[in-house]
């Protein structure tokens, strides 16, 4: 079951599913990864991004974009798995 041997329209459907999964995963990652809930000791290695007082700071942890990218890749993998399973059931 090699995707390179599929019909052209199925390959395009796989690519669209992966891209759509990446976009949805990125959006979910941006909403899910909340840096205001970091433990206090993690804030010492974070960068202050925006502050409106002492209590309303938003921190960028160095691993922030890695956490968002992990959710994006997971979304892309789920999108690809859905199309791949559909092709297996044909």
H or E element in which residue 87 lies:
helix 64-88
Q: In which band, very low, low, confident or very high, does the pLDDT at 12 lie, cut at 50, 70 and 90?
A: very high
pLDDT reading at 24 higher than 80: yes
Residue 51, C-beta contacts closer than 8 angstroms, at least 6 positions apart: 57, 58
Residue 76, C-beta contacts closer than 8 angstroms, at least 6 positions apart: 18, 19, 21, 22, 25
Tokens encoding 2: 């090699």
What confidence tens digit (pLDDT) does each residue in 29-76 have?
888 876 666 565 555 555 555 566 666 666 566 677 888 899 999 999
């Amino acid at each position: 079951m090699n995707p390179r041997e599929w019909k052209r329209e199925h390959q395009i459907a796989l690519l669209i599913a992966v891209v759509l999964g990446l976009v949805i995963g990125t959006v979910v990652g941006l909403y899910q990864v909340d840096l205001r809930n970091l433990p206090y000791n993690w804030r010492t290695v974070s960068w202050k991004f925006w502050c409106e007082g002492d209590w309303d700071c938003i921190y960028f942890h160095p691993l922030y974009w890695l956490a968002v990218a992990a959710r994006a890749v997971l979304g892309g993998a789920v999108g690809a798995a859905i199309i791949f399973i559909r092709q297996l059931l044909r």
